[in-house]
C-alpha cells in the first residue's frame, strides 16, 4: 500500500484521547503541539490528558478486565495477528509518521515497523500457549495444579525514541495475557501510538481494553493512576531517575513492575577481532536511531594493538554519513529529538575534550534549522570524563584503550548500568568468558544489533527489572496460582 504524502497523512490522524472506545477531547479541552525536530514546525495538535482523564481511562480498563480475561486465547490471538497484518499494509504511513515526529531516517523507521509490528505477531502466537502444570505432591496425598492468570489492569509508559516498538512491546504481551491497559505515550512522539491504537480498534479490539492518554503533565496524571487500587501492573521504559521515582510510587500498592531503564553499553574490541566486522558493528550499535537508544554503544573499549586502525576506519565511515531531514534520500543521521538533547551531547563532548580527548571528527551542533548534532568521534578519552559515565543519547563515539582482558572487563563493568554489551573477538573461549563476566542483561557477540521480538530484552543493576519479548515477556503480565486438591484415590 502506497503511503500518503505528509500533509494527507497528518490530516487523517487521530489526535484525541482514546478512552472506553471513544476518541474524545481532554477534560477542559487542553491540547499541545507535536513538533518536527528537523524543522521545528508543528505537525499536529494533540489532546492533553488531565489526571481526571487518566482515571477515566483506568475506569474503562477496570470495567472490561474480567470480560477481556475471559475472552478465548484464540480470539485475543486473532486480534493481535490482525493488527500485525494491518501494520504491514500501512507500513509506509507508519514509517513516515515516525520520521516526522521523532526524526530518524526513513529507512530506519521502516525497519522499526518490521521490528515493532513483530511483537504483535509474536505475542499473538504466545497468547494460545499460556500453560500451567499438574502433578502429584511428594507425599502422594494430593494433587498440585499450577495455573497462570492475567495480573489485571496495566499502566504502560512509553518513551519517545522508538514510538512504535516500545508501544507494541508492552501492549502485545499485555493483551495476549488477557490484561487491559492504559498507555501514556511520550509527549514528544504520541502520534505513532495513537495511530497504532486506531489500527488495533480496526482489528477488532473491544472498547475499553486499550486506552491512550497523551499528556504534558506526566507526573500529575501518573500519580493518581498508580495510587488507584484497581491498577495491578506498571511497565515503564525511560531514564533510571524517573524509573526510581515510579518504583517508589508503585511500592505503595505493591504493583507488579517492569522497568527498562538507562544504559551505558560497552563495545569491546579485542586484538584478535575482525576489524571490518567490528567497524560495521560499531556503526550499527552507535548510530542506529541517531544514537538515541538505550542499547547504543556508549563506550568503545579497544585493545591498544588495534585501536589506531579501528579509530581510523571508523572515522572514515562516520565522515561519509549524510546528515539531514529523515525524509531525504540517503540521510543516515537525522536530528536529535530537541534542543535539550543537543545541549546535553555538546556539554559532554566539551567536558571530555577539556580533559584531553582527541577530536577525530565533528564535535559540535550543526548550524541551521532543526536540532542536529554532527557525527563525532572522540579518541583517547580520559577515564574520569563525564561522557563515559552518562548515557550520551547522540551520535558521539568515545574510544578508550586497554592492554589486558582483565582491564577490558573492569572498564566495561565500571558503571551502575547493565543493559547490553558488545564484544568483538575471534576467540570462542574469550567470547564465552565475556558472557559470564560482563554484567549486562544482554550481549552482542560479534554483532552490533541484538533486539528481536523472540528474545528477552532487559538489563541488570540500575538498567531495570523484568524482561520484554520472548516467551518470558508474557509472564510479566501473568500471576501464578497454586492449587492443592486431595488425592482422587482416597
Distance CA 225, CA 280 (A): 44
CA 203 distance to own-chain centroid? 24
- Average pLDDT of the chain is 97
Residue with cell 505432591: 137
How far apart are the C-alpha atoms of 176 and 63, rounded to whole Å? 18
| DSSP letter string, 320-381 | TPPBS-TTSTT--B---SSHHHHHHHHHHHHHHHHTT-EEEE--SBPSSSS--B--EEEES-
Q: What angle do helix axes 165-177 and 106-127 make, rounded to 10 degrees? A: 10
| Cβ-contact 247, 225 below 8 angstroms | no
The residue length of the chain stands at 490
What is the tens place of the pLDDT at every residue in 84-100? 999 999 999 999 999 99
> Looking at residue 490, what is its pLDDT?
83
**Cβ atoms within 10 Å, residue 358:** 13
What's the CA gap between 226 and 232, in Å, rounded?
Answer: 9
Catalytic residue among 260, 391, 468, 476: 260
Reduced 3-state DSSP string for 428-476: HHHHHHHHHHCCCCEEEECCCCCCCCCCCECCEECCEECCECHHHHHHC
Query: CA 286, 271, 434 angle in degrees (round to 5)?
Result: 70
Asked if 260 is an active-site residue, the reply is yes
- Low-confidence spans in the chain with pLDDT less than 70: 1-4
Cell of 29: 479541552
Q: What is the pLDDT of residue 56?
A: 98
| Per-residue CA distances from 15 to 29, 219, 404, 473 (Å) | 12, 21, 55, 30
Would you say 408 and 301 are in contact if contact means Cβ atoms under 8 Å apart? yes
Cβ atoms of residues 243 and 464 within 8 Å? yes
What is 10-64 written as a DSSP string? HHTS--SEEETTEEEPPTT--EEEEE-TTT--EEEEEE---HHHHHHHHHHHHHH
Three-state DSSP at 60 gives helix
Cβ-count burial 5-35 (b if 16+ within 10 Å, e if not):
eeeebbeebbbbbbbbeebeebbeebebebb
**Closest by Cα among 447, 386, 406, 450 to 301:** 406
Beta strands 376-379 and 358-361 are antiparallel
Which 8-state DSSP code applies to residue 38? T
294 part of the active site: yes
CA quadruple 6, 11, 17, 21: dihedral, nearest 10: -110
| pLDDT score, position 244 | 97
**Burial class of residue 368 (count of CB atoms within 10 Å of its CB; 0-12, 13-18, 19+):** exposed
> How far is it, in rounded angstroms, from Cα 207 to Cα 211?
9
Phi, psi of 280 (to 5 degrees): -60, -45
Q: Which one is catalytic: 294, 391, 468, 476?
A: 294
Q: What is the pLDDT of residue 2?
A: 41
Closest by Cα among 366, 54, 18, 352 to 230: 54
Residue 199's CB is within 10 A of a number of other CB atoms, namely 21
**Would you give the DSSP letter of residue 205?**
P
pLDDT of residue 4: 62
The separation between the first and the last C-alpha atoms of the chain, rounded to the nearest angstrom, is 65
pLDDT at 1: 36
pLDDT of residue 302: 98
Amino acid at each position: 500500500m502506497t503511503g500518503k504524502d505528509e500533509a494527507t497523512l497528518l490530516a487523517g490522524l487521530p489526535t484525541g484521547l482514546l478512552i472506553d472506545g471513544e476518541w474524545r477531547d481532554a477534560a477542559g479541552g487542553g491540547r499541545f503541539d507535536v513538533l518536527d525536530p528537523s524543522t521545528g514546525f508543528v505537525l499536529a495538535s494533540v489532546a492533553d490528558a488531565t489526571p481526571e482523564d487518566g482515571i477515566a481511562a483506568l475506569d474503562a480498563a477496570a470495567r472490561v478486565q474480567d470480560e477481556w480475561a475471559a475472552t478465548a486465547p484464540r480470539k485475543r490471538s486473532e486480534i493481535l495477528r490482525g493488527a500485525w497484518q494491518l501494520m504491514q499494509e500501512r507500513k509506509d504511513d507508519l514509517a513516515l509518521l515516525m520520521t516526522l515526529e521523532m526524526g530518524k531516517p526513513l529507512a530506519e523507521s521502516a525497519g522499526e515497523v518490521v521490528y515493532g509490528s513483530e511483537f504483535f505477531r509474536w505475542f499473538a502466537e504466545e497468547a494460545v500457549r499460556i500453560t500451567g502444570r499438574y502433578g502429584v505432591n511428594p507425599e502422594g496425598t494430593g494433587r498440585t495444579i499450577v495455573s497462570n492468570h492475567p495480573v489485571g489492569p496495566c499502566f504502560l509508559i512509553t518513551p519517545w525514541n522508538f514510538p512504535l516498538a516500545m508501544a507494541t512491546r508492552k501492549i502485545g504481551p499485555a493483551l495476549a495475557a488477557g490484561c487491559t491497559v492504559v498507555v501514556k505515550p511520550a509527549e514528544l512522539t504520541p502520534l505513532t501510538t495513537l495511530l497504532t491504537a486506531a489500527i488495533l480498534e480496526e482489528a477488532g479490539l473491544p472498547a475499553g481494553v486499550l486506552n491512550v492518554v497523551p499528556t504534558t503533565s506526566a507526573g500529575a496524571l501518573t500519580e493518581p493512576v498508580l495510587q488507584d487500587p484497581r491498577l495491578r501492573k506498571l511497565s515503564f521504559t525511560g531514564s533510571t531517575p524517573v524509573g526510581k521515582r515510579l518504583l517508589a510510587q508503585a511500592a505503595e500498592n505493591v504493583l507488579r513492575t517492569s522497568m527498562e531503564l538507562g544504559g551505558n553499553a560497552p563495545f569491546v574490541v579485542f586484538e584478535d577481532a575482525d576489524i571490518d566486522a567490528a567497524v560495521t558493528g560499531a556503526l550499527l550499535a552507535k548510530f542506529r536511531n541517531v544514537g538515541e537508544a538505550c542499547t547504543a554503544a556508549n563506550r568503545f573499549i579497544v585493545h591498544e594493538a588495534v585501536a589506531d586502525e579501528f579509530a581510523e576506519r571508523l572515522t572514515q565511515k562516520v565522515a561519509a554519513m549524510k546528515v539531514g531531514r529523515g525524509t531525504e534520500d540517503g540521510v543516515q543521521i537525522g536530528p536529535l529529538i530537541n534542543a535539550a538533547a543537543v545541549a546535553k551531547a555538546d556539554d559532554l563532548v566539551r567536558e571530555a575534550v577539556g580533559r584531553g580527548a582527541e577530536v577525530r571528527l565533528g564535535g559540535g551542533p550543526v548550524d541551521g534549522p532543526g536540532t542536529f548534532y554532527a557525527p563525532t568521534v572522540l579518541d583517547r578519552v580520559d577515564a574520569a570524563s563525564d561522557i563515559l559515565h552518562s548515557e550520551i543519547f547522540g551520535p558521539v563515539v568515545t574510544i578508550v584503550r586497554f592492554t589486558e582482558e582483565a582491564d577490558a572487563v573492569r572498564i566495561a563493568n565500571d558503571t551502575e548500568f547493565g543493559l547490553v554489551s558488545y564484544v568483538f573477538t575471534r576467540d570462542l573461549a574469550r567470547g564465552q568468558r565475556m558472557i559470564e563476566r560482563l554484567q549486562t542483561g544482554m550481549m552482542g557477540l560479534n554483532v552490533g544489533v541484538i533486539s528481536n521480538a523472540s528474545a528477552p530484552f532487559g538489563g541488570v543493576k540500575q538498567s531495570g527489572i523484568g524482561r520484554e519479548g520472548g516467551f518470558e515477556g508474557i509472564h510479566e503480565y501473568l500471576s501464578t496460582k497454586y492449587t492443592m486438591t486431595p488425592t482422587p484415590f482416597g
